[in-house]
Structure 1
Amino acid sequence: MENNEYSVGLDIGTTKIVTIVGRRNEHGKIEILGVGKAKSLGVHKGIVNNISQTISSIKSAVEQAQNSAGVKIHKVTVGIAGKHIRSLQHSDYIMRDHPEEYITEDDIEKLKDQVKKLVMLPGEEIIHVLPQDYKVDSEGEIQEPVGMHGKRLEANFHVVVGQMGSIRNIARCVREAGLEMEALTLEPLASSEAVLTKEEKEAGVAIVDIGGGTTDIAIFKDNIIRHTCVIPYGGGIITDDIKEGCSIIEKHAEQLKVKFGSAVPDLEKDSTFVTIPGLHGRNDKEISLKTLAQIVNARVEEILEMVNTELKAYGAFEQKKKLIAGIVLTGGGSNLRHLRQLANYTTGLDSRIGFANEYVANDKNQQLKGPEYATSIGLLMESLKIRDKKPYEAELQKQVEAKIAEKEDKIEPQISEELTVEIEKGHRELAKKVRPTFGESILNKVKKFFEEVE
């Protein structure tokens, strides 16, 4: 199979590293060709803290995916999260030199470039600038200003900021694992691609992705990303609490959490116990499921309170910013029993569990049904978007070149000005259609850094 016939998503998580190989079928659905999964060694709370162990885990997951798909993996779309990611709102404007001419993509890029010059904290760098709405002269709440006339172009931006050191560490791990990065994508945005509907994004929704080391949040309203953040707690800290509270080893604590854990103690009976085998000839240990639920509940409530704080910071409880579609819980941590009920109670918003297999055509054995695969499938979808765009780019480039060639064949001195305008228009259209995706823009920054180092 040719390399351009399939795409690959690589999720470098705190507890696991997942590689998914897939392609788009004739009905537009995703056909999974292979999956690889390895225990994540060297990643703590979404941040790489051991390069060699992370490289080894990536290689293991990629090798499994290659064997099950029967293809050789070269390019991957990679997710990035971690407690270093934060976002802020910013408004900026430019004064156009020629207000009689209509606004183009060049004007919007000029405005974005101005925002990218904002001074950040030491070691931080702006990863991406996402326009939310525009204002042209005195007219506000404009979604698409291209083609309009005006002197002053203003916009509200969602600015995503992170530590470039963390991004470079991920880039190095992927590169030394023998892979090429096609794009880097914020994990909450990837998860939202896989589990949210267009109607939910329009109505207002918060996706809460509870992973092993972090809880990622992305808020959408009117189909626009409004807020992103990463809480440095996830399912792993619940396991640690069970280990300490019940005085058992981590392996047994994780099994207890997955099989018997509950977020609501009142729904558990006092008389129900589970037996844990003793270590090296010691007596077995009996643990009450109600006690287990109380330990789990304390930590989950803390995480949900942090989520609530972020929702309030955005203004989700104001009438204009109300999240009509509520919350979508996803990630491995959302498998916890009764979590949805606790989330409803804590936040006052309706919630559901987000499953990632809605866009998958061939998941007959329900292997990818679990919400823990939401980010992986979202990264695969981002990669497929990039692949789908390339044939269109080539075709558009051909059309522009053909138009230019046709003009050149019939060129006369008096129409040279008309030709210049036509060529500029063609290039503007091409630039508009083939603007880099979010992930590609981050990747270009990383590539530039490595070129400067070399």
Structure 2
Amino acid sequence: MSKKDRIVCGLDPGSTKICLIVARLRDSGSLEILGVGHAESAGFKRGVVVDLEQAAECIRKAVAEAETKAGVSVDWVAVGLSGEGVQSFNCRGAVPIEGKNHEVTHEDMAKVVRAAQSVPVPGNRQLIHVLPQEFFLDDWGDIRNPVGLTGSRLDADVHVVSVDASLVQNLINTVNHAAMRVRRVILQILASAESVLTPEEREIGTAVVDIGGGTTDIAILFRNAIRFTSVIPVGGSLFSRDLAIGLRTPIEDAECLKTTVGTLLTDTVVEDEMIDVPEIGTRNTRQLPRKAACRILRDRATELMELIRAQIDRGCERGQLLGGVVLTGGGSLLPGMVELAEQVLEVPARLGFPLGVQGLTDELNHPAYACVIGLAVLSTRPDIDPRKFSENPGHLPPLISRVLSWVES
């Protein structure tokens, strides 16, 4: 494949920042970052486009910066999606094996995945992912690749992700308005998981929690497959809002205080330590106890962790998360977040940094970039997108290509 064909681009349209990377995806699977662009986010709220013109302008700024740094032009992106309009569920499909000697073929695998995804979906919703988990042949389960095996019936468990169709279309229209094409729409937590998990963590059972500005996204992986995904409409911006309300200070100053003096380790804060808090509507500041600010942050973080625990309990049995929880996203960097996660979730926790990345590593070795890097990696993977991308003669049917890609991965 030519160098041009291996250039990939990921776009993370967050509620607080827009980030776009241009990278070269090598045959080994490693990613070389060529350029990164940022813009303050406007026009997005909790993963949803609320102002197309503003959002498109932010994307244009990020694209221009990334292209300048990379020295190449790009015209398509893999774009991340989140928000309250996302729904997901597990389901099973079954088909008879009718071929020669009742041997399972690649076509049988594609048929059973298609059968599994043929659940009724309301007209206002759109499938964006159908992710195989495992196959079953007659009475035998936990089969990863049944091709060549003999049986009479093939079953498949899959994880299906659907979204409000207007949410997807508005996102695509916004990117198009920024003079870019959307190659793929990817659930953001899938990209984050791709970026931060080790092969062992994918196998033994691990939850990934991406704390963004507007949402907190969750995925549970076990036996190298997605078992559960969820979106909580609470993110780091609510921490700042709570500070602004509690300290009666402008939201911009609350954000600054959160990142400079904020910690969830309230026991480490000296009782008489004071901080300067800007007043609303004036240039004056007043002194308040730092501990009061940190307690506000800890209360919100504890509430968020309890919401996360409730979702994880929905997605798996206690004791299944041998790999614990991996926290990523910009909100995970608040000091004490890992310790609080271990306390509330009662499993080991760590921060998730992007793995297998080359180029600009000093700048991008940060949990806030996990999602956008994962988007670039997944941008050419057929196994995560249910739509047809190629009808060229000589190509395998798209669904079979996706199933084969899943088996190989």
* Structure-2-length-normalised TM-score: 0.90
Q: Say which of 356, 361, 379 aligns to 1:359.
A: 356
1:139 Cα deviation after fit: 1.7
Q: Give the distance between the partners of 1:40 and 1:289, measured in 2 at CA.
A: 29
Residues 1:312 and 2:313 aligned together: yes
1:71: which partner in 2?
A: 72
Contact 1:82–1:214 (CA under 8 A) maintained in structure 2: yes
- C-alpha spacing 1:243/1:77, structure 2 compared with 1 (3 Å): same
1:290: which partner in 2?
A: 291
1:9 Cα deviation after fit: 0.9
- C-alpha spacing 1:384/1:91, structure 2 compared with 1 (3 Å): closer
Q: Give the distance between the partners of 2:310 and 2:278, measured in 1 at CA.
A: 40
2:14: which partner in 1?
A: 13
CA RMSD of aligned residues (A): 2.6
1:25 Cα deviation after fit: 5.8
| Residue correspondence of structure 1 range 54-453 to structure 2 within 5 A | 54-98=55-99, 100-121=101-122, 123-278=124-279, 283-317=284-318, 319=319, 322-356=320-354, 358-363=355-360, 366-383=362-379, 432-433=400-401
| CA displacement, residues 132-170 of structure 1 (integer Å, 9 cap, x when unaligned) | 122211222222112112221112221212111111111
Give structure 1 stretches of 5+ with no counterpart. Answer: 387-393, 402-426, 439-454
Give structure 2 stretches of 5+ with no counterpart. Answer: 383-389
Secondary structure of residue in 2 paired with 1:269: coil
Secondary structure of residue in 2 paired with 1:367: helix
Contact 1:275–1:287 (CA under 8 A) maintained in structure 2: yes
- C-alpha spacing 1:72/1:431, structure 2 compared with 1 (3 Å): same
Which region of structure 1 is more displaced relative to structure 2, 253-262 or 28-37?
28-37
Secondary structure of residue in 2 paired with 1:100: helix
Which region of structure 1 is more displaced relative to structure 2, 331-340 or 87-96?
87-96
Which region of structure 1 is more displaced relative to structure 2, 260-269 or 167-176?
260-269
- C-alpha spacing 1:285/1:25, structure 2 compared with 1 (3 Å): same
Q: Give the distance between the partners of 1:246 and 1:226, measured in 2 at CA.
A: 41
| Residue correspondence of structure 1 range 11-50 to structure 2 within 5 A | 11-24=12-25, 29-50=30-51
Q: Give the distance between the partners of 1:135 and 1:436, measured in 2 at CA.
A: 16
| CA displacement, residues 243-293 of structure 1 (integer Å, 9 cap, x when unaligned) | 000000011000011111112322222111111344665542112221111
Secondary structure of residue in 2 paired with 1:213: coil
- C-alpha spacing 1:28/1:104, structure 2 compared with 1 (3 Å): closer
Q: Give the distance between the partners of 1:134 and 1:434, measured in 2 at CA.
A: 15
Q: Give the distance between the partners of 2:398 and 2:271, measured in 1 at CA.
A: 67
| CA displacement, residues 97-153 of structure 1 (integer Å, 9 cap, x when unaligned) | 447231122222222222333123462233322221222112222221121122211
- C-alpha spacing 1:137/1:24, structure 2 compared with 1 (3 Å): closer
| CA displacement, residues 175-231 of structure 1 (integer Å, 9 cap, x when unaligned) | 121111222211101011111110111111000000000001111011111101111
| CA displacement, residues 295-335 of structure 1 (integer Å, 9 cap, x when unaligned) | 11111111111110111112230x4xx11110000000011
- C-alpha spacing 1:151/1:214, structure 2 compared with 1 (3 Å): same
Letter matched to residue 350 of structure 1: P
- C-alpha spacing 1:134/1:27, structure 2 compared with 1 (3 Å): closer
1:61 Cα deviation after fit: 0.7
Letter matched to residue 359 of structure 1: G
Higher helix share: 1
Q: Give the distance between the partners of 2:156 and 2:28, measured in 1 at CA.
A: 38
Which region of structure 1 is more displaced relative to structure 2, 92-101 or 195-204?
92-101
Letter matched to residue 363 of structure 1: L
Q: Give the distance between the partners of 1:39 and 1:430, measured in 2 at CA.
A: 37
| CA displacement, residues 334-388 of structure 1 (integer Å, 9 cap, x when unaligned) | 11001110000000000000112x3222335x211221111111112123657xx
Contact 1:99–1:151 (CA under 8 A) maintained in structure 2: no
Q: Give the distance between the partners of 2:41 and 2:193, measured in 1 at CA.
A: 23
Letter matched to residue 11 of structure 1: D
Contact 1:42–1:54 (CA under 8 A) maintained in structure 2: yes
* Structure-1-length-normalised TM-score: 0.81
2:387: which partner in 1?
A: none
Secondary structure of residue in 2 paired with 1:103: coil
- C-alpha spacing 1:29/1:153, structure 2 compared with 1 (3 Å): closer
Letter matched to residue 95 of structure 1: P
- C-alpha spacing 1:133/1:431, structure 2 compared with 1 (3 Å): closer
Q: Give the distance between the partners of 2:65 and 2:49, measured in 1 at CA.
A: 22
Q: Give the distance between the partners of 1:276 and 1:431, measured in 2 at CA.
A: 57
Secondary structure of residue in 2 paired with 1:208: strand
1:391: which partner in 2?
A: none
